[in-house]
Chain A
Amino acid sequence: QQQVRQSSQSLTVWEGETAILNCSYENSAFDYFPWYQQFPGEGPALLIAIRSVSDKKEDGRFTIFFNKREKNLSLHIKDSQPGDSATYFCAASGEDTNAYKVIFGKGTHLHVLP
């Protein structure tokens, strides 16, 4: 059972467009949702995160929209740049006995064409 699902394995946009990466989750106990960015040969690195008490988190060109009722969230990358080409992982963890454990989706490969 995939607890965190990313709807697209791959996404291609043109430079300057807004890339939208979608994610859904199963466990209602999840309350912390980070997005990680990974470049080839590197480990994933935290990009932006949201807690379930909020419905939006913005950091520069990156925005998370969160819908607790529908158990889904999306990462919007405004004015996409070729340097944004990477794999993006949606992740989740919860305030339960296993609060440290972070579950990742399978990732979305974003390609930004110049």
Chain B
Amino acid sequence: NAGVIQTPRHKVTGKGQEATLWCEPISGHSAVFWYRQTIVQGLEFLTYFRNQAPIDDSGMPKERFSAQMPNQSHSTLKIQSTQPQDSAVYLCASSLDAGTEVFFGKGTRLTVV
């Protein structure tokens, strides 16, 4: 079990460009989460899927952020027209069931220059 896999580990984009982040959750886990981590805000919830269906995207900046889970083995987080304030570590996580351990990937560090 390789755990939650996130690619790439680091990404640098120019302001206004698009960034796509990839996540492969642990096989068999029903829930997949995306969080954003910054020094100032800590770990911010963005969105999550359960059995591939979007359940709660209340943390997603509505205009430029979108997340998808086209199949049970991967999820993507897309940021359009990236801005410097989008620079952060984006963490994907998965869990087997509600109220159980959430397993995190190592994150993708996004830098917008």
Binding site for B on A (CB under 8 A): 31-32, 34, 36, 41-46, 49, 51, 89, 93, 95, 98-107
Give the number of residues in B that approach A within 8 Å (Cβ atoms): 24
Alpha-carbon distance A44/B107, docked complex (angstroms): 10
Tell me which residues across on chain B come within 8 A of A104, comparing CB atoms: 35, 42-43, 45
Majority SS of interface residues in chain B? strand
* B-side contacts of A99, CB under 8 Å: 98-99
Per the 8 Å Cβ criterion, residues 12-45 of B in contact with A are 31, 33, 35, 41-43, 45
Q: How many A-B residue pairs have CB under 8 A?
A: 58
A101 in contact with B48 given A43-B91, A44-B104, A46-B102 (CB within 8 Å): yes
**Which residues 85-106 in B have Cβ within 8 Å of A in the complex?**
91, 93, 95, 98-99, 101-106
Q: Does A43 lie within 8 Å of B105, measured CB to CB? A: yes
The complex places the Cα of A74 from the Cα of B33 at a distance, in Å, of: 26
Whether A102 and B42, one on each chain, are in contact in the complex, defined by CB atoms closer than 8 angstroms, is no
Check A45 against B99 for contact (C-beta < 8 Å): no
Is there contact, CB below 8 Å, between A101 and B56?
yes
